[in-house]
Amino acid sequence: MPYVPNTDDDQKRMLKAIGVSKIGDLFADIPQALRLNRDLNIPALPEMELLTEIEALSRENREGLTCFAGGGVYDHFIPAAVNTIISRPEFVTSYTPYQAEVAQGTLQVIYEFQTHICRLTGMDIANASMYDGATAAAEAIRLTARITRRSKAIVSESVNPLYREVISTYLTGSDIEVVTLPMKDGVADLNRLADLVDDATAGVVLAQPNFFGLLEQIDAAVEVIHQAGAKLIMAVDPIAQAVLKTPGDYGADIVVGEGQPLGIPLSFGGPLLGFFAAKQELARHMPGRIAGRTKDVDGKDGYVLTLQTREQHIRREKATSNICTNQALCATAASVYMSLLGKSGIKQIALLSIERAQQAASAIFELEGFEPYFSGPFVREFAVRTPRPARDIVLSMVENRVLPGVAAGRWYDGMDDCLIVALTEKRTPEDIATLVKGLKEFSVGLVSQM
């Protein structure tokens, strides 16, 4: 008769071996208020039935949609060479590069990723990557609080709301107060910024472009921020960086962002890739890993983890960050992507995306009932005021295999009629025509007849 694990007798023996009388004793350090205090509603299914159930759920995913959604994650073309290279065993199976003597390839890729990010952002130093752009932003706030010894962070309302949610969660339990900077006409209200920034402010988070695709007035903001002794944290789109003024030129202290557009597929929302760059003076305060280039005893180039060690990250409350690893495979994909395209290639992708966005916006705004939600200049993403709730339009058009954008009302009160449309180089004139045709069914004249 085959052995069946996890019986009551097995459980009793295991508990006795570790010196506790019941499973609940293992969670004694967790306060009662944080416990579920009820059984999980998970049916006990045999493996075959469980697989059937999971496969049925997976079939509910929508595949093959023509995607005009953005919000930080974008549908870019990925050269076949990217997947071919990162599928090599030395990249797929490698994990931690602490032993430099056996991890030179991994360390070199990390170093090259850092170099690409520095060149893209105009900053002095970058780390080996983080979980995603949102956690990178939260870590940036923690850094500013440590170095300024202040306890207030200001985050613009026009920053990606998913970033703001993660920041709020990440800083729960800390002594850092997060204050929201209101927006005006889709961008940060600089008059309110001047009122909010004070001698308790550690850092201010602004996006360029912001969640609505609009350009922020960073030059005016950075002067106010630095005069108060605070730090400017910029959350940026890496593709748009190829054509915009760099954060380094603006005078930003820290730059964070989502690296998914750099050769990583949508994949139903993950995995993602956070990047983190800063001024040289902040190097020793940065979270995560940093790879450096050196010379060995024979004078040959070699790569090592520098400035920070494993022991630093396992010191719990004394560590600079809870993130002590990096998204190595995703960072490798981004490195390959940036190496293949180069400076001119990424710039071409950005310009094509901007061109397609202008074409789509012009066509949409000719439809009755559709108009610009904001008046400012945008890059490759723009907000549309819709004649019906944007969420209804999204759900309806998805049935025809078109994802027309992101409904802003999910995060912004009073903006149920706001649809954020994003364009990449993959969206053809035919795709744009299909989008416009689908939206036309919701124009004012047709809606009044329904």
**What is the domain-level CATH number for residue 394?**
3.90.1150.10
Tell me 122's DSSP state.
T
The reply to whether 314 and 363 lie within a common domain is no
The reply to whether 91 and 170 lie within a common domain is yes
Q: Please, which residues bridge with residue 206 across strands?
A: 234
Residue 243 vs residue 3, higher pLDDT: 243
Q: Is 129 exposed, middle or buried (0-12, 13-18, 19+ CB in 10 A)?
A: buried
CATH number at residue 324: 3.40.640.10
**HSE on the CB side for 161, CA within 13 Å?**
13
Of the residues 337, 358, 373, which one is the last residue of a structural domain? 337
Cβ count near 87 (within 10 Å): 10
pLDDT computed for residue 74 by the predictor:
97
Average pLDDT, stretch 402-408? 98
The CA distance from 82 to 338, in Å, is 10
The reply to whether 216 and 280 lie within a common domain is yes
Q: Is the pLDDT of residue 1 over 50?
A: no
Tell me 282's DSSP state.
G
pLDDT digits (tens, 9 = 90+) for 93-113: 877 787 888 889 999 999 999
Q: Is the pLDDT of residue 353 over 70?
A: yes
Average pLDDT, stretch 65-80? 96
Structure tokens given for 261:
């557009």
Q: Please tell me the total count of domains within the chain.
A: 2
Helix (H, G, I), strand (E, B) or coil at 354: helix
pLDDT computed for residue 5 by the predictor:
52
Domain that holds residue 358: 66-72+342-444
Cβ count near 92 (within 10 Å): 11
The residues, any chain, with a CB within 8 Å of residue 403's CB and separated by 6 or more, are 62, 65, 66, 67, 68, 69, 394, 397
Q: Would residue 449 count as lying in a domain?
A: no
What does each C-alpha distance from 19 to 31, 180, 270 come to in angstroms? 21, 49, 40
Q: Say which range, 117-131, 187-201, 256-270, has the weakest mean pLDDT.
A: 256-270
Q: Is the pLDDT of residue 6 over 70?
A: no
Single out the residue of 373, 375, 394, 372 nearest to residue 442, CA to CA.
Answer: 394
Beta strand segments in 237-338, E: 254-258, 274-278, 291-295, 301-305
The residues, any chain, with a CB within 8 Å of residue 46's CB and separated by 6 or more, are none
Q: Would residue 141 count as lying in a domain?
A: yes
pLDDT computed for residue 3 by the predictor:
47
Would you list the DSSP string of 58-97? HTTS--S-EE---TT-------HHHHHHHTSHHHHS----
Cis link prior to 209 (omega < 30° from 0)? yes
The reply to whether 316 and 366 lie within a common domain is no
The reply to whether 306 and 379 lie within a common domain is no
Q: How confident is the model at residue 407 (pLDDT cuts 50, 70, 90)?
A: very high
Q: What is the pTM of this model?
A: 0.88
Helix (H, G, I), strand (E, B) or coil at 55: helix
Single out the residue of 392, 423, 422, 397 nearest to residue 409, CA to CA.
Answer: 392
Q: Is the pLDDT of residue 300 over 60?
A: yes
Residue 8 vs residue 225, higher pLDDT: 225
Average pLDDT, stretch 127-136? 96
Q: Is the pLDDT of residue 309 over 60?
A: no
Cβ count near 359 (within 10 Å): 16
Q: Would residue 14 count as lying in a domain?
A: no
The reply to whether 332 and 347 lie within a common domain is no
Q: Say which range, 15-19, 78-82, 113-117, 246-250, has the weakest mean pLDDT.
A: 15-19
Q: Would residue 287 count as lying in a domain?
A: yes
Beta strand segments in 237-329, E: 254-258, 274-278, 291-295, 301-305
pLDDT computed for residue 2 by the predictor:
44
Residue 59 vs residue 210, higher pLDDT: 210
Q: Would residue 175 count as lying in a domain?
A: yes
Of the residues 337, 361, 381, which one is the last residue of a structural domain? 337
Of the residues 290, 315, 337, which one is the last residue of a structural domain? 337
The reply to whether 134 and 260 lie within a common domain is yes
Percent of the chain with pLDDT over 70: 94
